[in-house]
Amino acid sequence: MIKAVIFDLDGVIVSTDNFHYQAWKHIADKEGIHFDELINNRLRGVSRMDSLDIILENSHKKYKEMDKIRFANEKNSVYGDFLSSLTSNDILPGVKELIALLKAKDIRLGVGSSSRNCKKILTLIGLHETFDVVIDGNDISRSKPDSEVFDKVAKKLGVEPEECLVIEDAIAGIEAAVNAGMMSFALNDAKKSPLATYKGNNVIEIASLL
Ligand code: B16
Ligand code: MG
């Protein structure tokens, strides 16, 4: 029985992939490192510093920790400029309808995101008071596919892992849900994962599982 639904943020509630892509591209171009949409796909659900390490795999240079921190900060500043244009109109189709339905059925609502910009984004799109629990990149030390983010959401919600359904757009996120012992609903890229419990094109399809 589903007692809680845990939403990933980027790619599930709002689509900021292109902002991440443009911001990382800005850094890669400046450093002369090859970066394309295929590499960008590997960054879904992955923390900022781990994303940078994936991008730097294509460089011949050996970067110092100090340089990496500078790149990550610059990327985040470019990304932050893009984010400022976000409004509630950017909430992905089906999300508001699903939230209303879950609230009507007394199902608890959580967010489990790798992003350190999570609370800022929820505020910009007007969903900062919607969820019972929000755990993000600031609260965890191990990023997806580790289960830490989802473990913490379930613990704070006071529900058992097997009572949770995670909604994810990233393969790493589906793996994190499996590692946490939770059910999962896969969207977009995450549908490639054979580990997903359910797959769909719009989160409102979850209504038929309740
Ligand atoms: P930030 P999610 C993830 O969010 C993104 O999918 C991933 O591309 C990004 O690198 C990560 O957040 C860290 O984001 O730089 O804002 O801390 O999908 O787990 O909600
Ligand atoms: Mg995501």
Q: Which residue has the tokens 């390490």?
A: 53
Whether this model's pTM surpasses 0.75: yes
User: 3-state DSSP helix/strand/coil percent for the chain, to nearest 5?
Assistant: 50, 10, 40
pLDDT category of residue 168 using cuts at 50, 70 and 90: very high
pLDDT category of residue 71 using cuts at 50, 70 and 90: very high
**Predicted local confidence at residue 132, as pLDDT:** 98
Beta bridge partners of 168: 186
Tell me how far the alpha carbon of residue 159 lies from the centroid of ligand 1, in angstroms.
Answer: 25
Atom of ligand 1 nearest to the CA of 116: 17
* C-alpha–C-alpha distance, residues 34 and 131, integer Å: 39
Mean pLDDT, rounded, for 156-169: 98
Atom of ligand 1 nearest to the CA of 51: 10
Q: Is the pLDDT of residue 33 over 90?
A: yes
> Does the domain spanning 4-14+89-209 belong to CATH 3.40.50.300?
no
**Predicted local confidence at residue 17, as pLDDT:** 87
Tell me how far the alpha carbon of residue 9 lies from the centroid of ligand 2, in angstroms.
Answer: 6
pLDDT category of residue 29 using cuts at 50, 70 and 90: very high
CATH class of 17-83: mainly alpha
Q: Collapsing DSSP states into helix, strand and coil, what is residue 41?
A: helix
The yes-or-no answer on residue 50 being catalytic is: no
- The reply to whether 17-83 shares the fold of 4-14+89-209 is no
- Which of 113, 143, 144 has the most ligand 1 atoms within 8 A of CB, as the residue to mutate? 113
Mean pLDDT, rounded, for 159-173: 97
The yes-or-no answer on residue 53 being catalytic is: no
The residues spanned by each domain of the chain are 4-14+89-209, 17-83
